[in-house]
Structure 1
Amino acid sequence: MWQVGLILAGLFLLMLMLNILMPLHRDDYDYSMIYTTAEHIVNFNDVLRSCYVHYMLHGGRMFTVFCLDLFLWLGKIWFDIANALMFVALVVLIYFHARREIKLSGEPIMVAIASLLAWLSFPHFGEVAIWKSGSTVYLWSAVPVALFLLPYNLSLKKGESVLKGWMLVPMLLLGVIAGWSVENLAVTVVGVTALISWCFHKKHNLLCWMPAGCFGALIGLIGLVAAPGNFVRYDDQGKGKGILTHIGNQFAGNGEMVLYILPIILALLIAWRIFKIVLAEKKGVTLKAVDSKVTVGQWILLGLIVLLVISYFNGSFVAWAIRDVLYSLVMVPAGLTDPGVVDKVNNIFRGFEEMAIYWFIIFFIYAIAKKKLGLSKENIKLLTANVKAKEIWDAYESVRYAGVMLVLALLNNMVMMAAPTFPARATFSSVVMIIIAAIAVFREPVIRQYYEKYTAKLLYAGAFGIGLFTISAATMVMYTMQQEHEARIAIVEETAANGEAIAYMEPIKMTNRALRHVFFVDFDNGVTKHGLCMFYGIEDIKVLKDEKK
């Protein structure tokens, strides 16, 4: 148990450090004031008033907006602590749902894997788990939902209710909070609790807390979608967007999510083949021997990873060299020298190395793991011919459970079809479900035995390498951004103190994003500028790209 405590304590300290380094940013300034006004929130009544105005004019997410306004009023350090605790709570709840039991002892490796996958796989991590306005929408919605659904999941596993009838009122109230979260997740919650309640009704062992929780979630959903502010915002964002746009949004949102969950996809693919190996061996099928030595190409890839890591922490000289060659040999001859085009190319190369390092490490580990498990092309064909998918589905309960969670994640994303936009961060709750599915499969004894026998050292080294790189990169970038931010806030404060209307400043030079673990945009962004100007009482902020204007 002490190992689990150490893992969770380390996770908390990491998240607390990143939260402390993350300054108030963009919408945080708007929500530090009574919504749509320049009046700073100075008491609890202002919090309630701001929530009401937001509900009427912008959107129905009352629970998350209340938490955001409340903690912005209480102070940043309290927000930082609460946000770090929320992330740890979500990881614990993910593990409980995967294990389908409220128990932390006995599996520290699985808790560590859940923590690592949460760190790597949540889309736009800095926006959804560290930035104040974003984390309250996605992270702070996911925690009460995961807590609310846990008794339903445990009851389904056990075949009987895990709660007593007197839990009707607490589950009703928690259901209201769970339903009053974010739109796609709220719909999923109502659907899941209604289906589970119906299943228990058919078995004649339904207890009143189940439909009560479902009814509470429905009340929350109605409160969420019926907000007058939703119609104001939809008229703004949804104008002129037909069904094809909504369908296209699905491809964009789901496609970006896939890039973030790539490690999960590859790990589940290997696990699926391990299931095939086990069932094939029971039929007397023997795999052909495979040379597991590291090839020259794989050594070259490892050397390239080391070079890119060195480059990343020393000004990204590799990325900019490639950019310069591309500019000279392709862009200039093709006439692609428009400042807008050049800026887009530069933006790609700002994130080039971190993504290249991440993907190269993942595919390097995947290739070596396949070799160690004997998964050559010939053996994969042999397994496919001798073991059918239905056999795996029938043989392992964890596979059936994971399959349900994956389908639920897909349906949860499909609910976004009704929204005018589908940013990748809106897949947050679906990724939670996918991580639950992955941990459930990884806990299967045969999977653990094979991983521990053939790939344990490789996976531990790979996890350590990816974790060390991403945490170091995020910390470095976040610290630098905080220093840049404080210098610019000092300029804004001096401008306001001098009674001047416009604050002038240089652009932020560092633009590394650390796999989106850092969320920060320059002060000339419209959203950032609007809130900052209102908060400090100035008229405008000008970032001097070329010269002072």
Structure 2
Amino acid sequence: MCLKIRKHSWSLVILTVIFLIMLLLNLKTLYVADDYVYRFVYRSPSPTAIAHPEQIKTWLIPYSMWNHYLIWNGRFVAHSIVQYFMQFNSKFPFDICSSLVYLIMILFIDKFGRHFSNKKHNPFILPLIFVFTWFYLPYFGQSVLWLSGSGNYLWMSIIYLGFILFNFKNRATDPTNITSAIILGFLTGATNENSGPAAVLIVLLFMIKRFIQEQKINLISTISVIASGIGFMIMMLSPGSQARGNIHRTWTLIQNNIAGIFKLMIGQWIWLYLLLIILVGIAIFFRKLNIDAIWAIVFFVIGHLAAVYSMAFSPEYPARTFFGGVIFLGIALFIVIYALFGEVKQPMMLASIVAAICFLVSFIPAYQDINLTYHQMQTEYQIIEKSRSKKVTVPLITMPKSQYNANYGVIALDTPPTALMNQWEAKFFQVDQISGYRTE
């Protein structure tokens, strides 16, 4: 036992450091925007429509999600997680759990890299994966640190990545595997509109490859894919989603969206594409990749493109919706990195040190911005909680400058008490109204 712990000591140290970094960032991020809405049983997006909102409890989540499904959208899996954590009077349980979920996501990427490269675990690739996610996950604050955003993007990633991993094995047709396939497939289909279906596409591509090579179809994988289709259809047929997404999807609109997405891809990920192409070329030249690994890279890149370009059919495509697409691209990249460098420790240790320095250069200003917002919001909270009046006036936070800040580009308290978040926060803190003033 001691020998096993010693063998994985570097991994434990690295994962502990990553966990503490994420915990610090989560602790410094307070409630943001939609969090105040999901504090209550969902009945309306408008605070004025609810005279006396009822605080959410675990047993009320199904009823709340049914209302949400009818009125707003069909992401009942993500928002059930959000509402579960919004029932507590402290954000601390979420901060701990979400930091752990982030580690699971990193370990999934590492697992895929090892699986397809047939290499043993290299602890010094973990920092590279972390730095990759730090620099390339879109709007890190919104998709990872914001409670509602994290529930929709970070937490959903471990469901559809688990779905892909589950389907790699040719599992026996028994009640346990059938039940697991139905549940995991259904949840994957209902995660979100683009990343979940892209994960299903990746599994289908592997199934087609196996059928061509072996003329076999695994029944468990077939059941999981069918279940995912059911979950996806239930999510997409939400009356709330249908009503809010009722636009005319003209060819002109789709063309404009495709052009905008292509521009975003070139601007954000061109160096990743070039790096992937170069590393794949080197790996093939030195025969470090077998044909199965090459197909895996191709399939994950196809999943990446599917997750990204499927948003062309949406009326809008905020950058955080490309979360899953970035993860799939990262998996393709780390399959090659493991194939080329998985067996070398010293060069990877050096690469980890360089990556850590790059991270620190980026982290320090990001943390300063997050910390400033944290203290300003703490001041808001204290003024509201200590006020003896039911009409409170608070100083507003300064405009966040970093995309690592969960409040960056997100609706927040404003000056008039009639502003949307002013009304929701008034209900959250059980006061009649909250007004704001700017100190700048």
Q: Partners of 1:28 and 1:403 in 2: how far apart?
A: 38
Q: Partners of 2:323 and 2:376 in 1: how far apart?
A: 29
- In terms of mean alpha carbon deviation, does 82-91 or 164-173 score higher? 164-173
Structure 1 position 111 matched with structure 2 position 118: no
Report the Cα offset of residue 30 of structure 1.
0.3
Give the alignment's TM-score, normalised by structure 1: 0.68
Amino acid at match of 1:468: L
Q: Which residue of 1 aligns with 2:22?
A: 15
Q: Which residue of 1 aligns with 2:279?
A: 271
Report the Cα offset of residue 270 of structure 1.
4.4
Cα distance change, pair 208–401 in 1 and its aligned pair in 2 (3 A): closer
1:72-471 counterparts in 2 under 5 A? 72-74=86-88, 75-100=90-115, 106-152=121-167, 154-155=168-169, 161-162=170-171, 165-166=174-175, 167-200=177-210, 203-235=214-246, 238=247, 242-261=250-269, 264-272=272-280, 274-275=282-283, 278=285, 398-445=293-340, 457=350, 459-471=351-363
Cα distance change, pair 484–429 in 1 and its aligned pair in 2 (3 A): same
Deviations 1:398-426 (A, max 9, x none): 44432321122112222212211111111
Report the Cα offset of residue 232 of structure 1.
2.2
Structure 1 position 534 matched with structure 2 position 427: yes
Q: Which residue of 2 aligns with 1:373?
A: none
Cα distance change, pair 226–511 in 1 and its aligned pair in 2 (3 A): closer
Q: Which residue of 2 aligns with 1:544?
A: 438
- In terms of mean alpha carbon deviation, does 78-87 or 161-170 score higher? 161-170
Q: Partners of 1:451 and 1:111 in 2: how far apart?
A: 12
Corresponding residue SS for 1:117: helix
Cα distance change, pair 474–63 in 1 and its aligned pair in 2 (3 A): same
Deviations 1:178-205 (A, max 9, x none): 1110011232244344454455556343
Report the Cα offset of residue 257 of structure 1.
4.9
- In terms of mean alpha carbon deviation, does 223-232 or 44-53 score higher? 44-53
Q: Which residue of 2 aligns with 1:489?
A: 381
Structure 1: gaps of 5 or more residues: 156-160, 280-391
Q: Partners of 1:265 and 1:200 in 2: how far apart?
A: 27
Q: Which residue of 1 aligns with 2:397?
A: 508
Amino acid at match of 2:310: V
Aligned-pair identity (%): 19
Q: Partners of 1:102 and 1:89 in 2: how far apart?
A: 20
Report the Cα offset of residue 133 of structure 1.
0.5
Q: Partners of 2:342 and 2:200 in 1: how far apart?
A: 35
Q: Quote the RMSD (CA, aligned, Å).
A: 3.1
Q: Partners of 2:261 and 2:439 in 1: how far apart?
A: 32
Amino acid at match of 2:354: G
Q: Which residue of 1 aligns with 2:36?
A: 29
Q: How many residues align?
A: 416
Instruction: Flag the structure with larger Rg.
Output: 1
Q: Partners of 2:279 and 2:13 in 1: how far apart?
A: 28
Report the Cα offset of residue 254 of structure 1.
4.8
Cα distance change, pair 12–274 in 1 and its aligned pair in 2 (3 A): same
Q: Which residue of 2 aligns with 1:523?
A: 413
Q: Which residue of 1 aligns with 2:5?
A: none
- In terms of mean alpha carbon deviation, does 533-542 or 393-402 score higher? 393-402
Which residue, 6, 16, 19 being the options, matches 2:13? Answer: 6
Corresponding residue SS for 2:87: helix
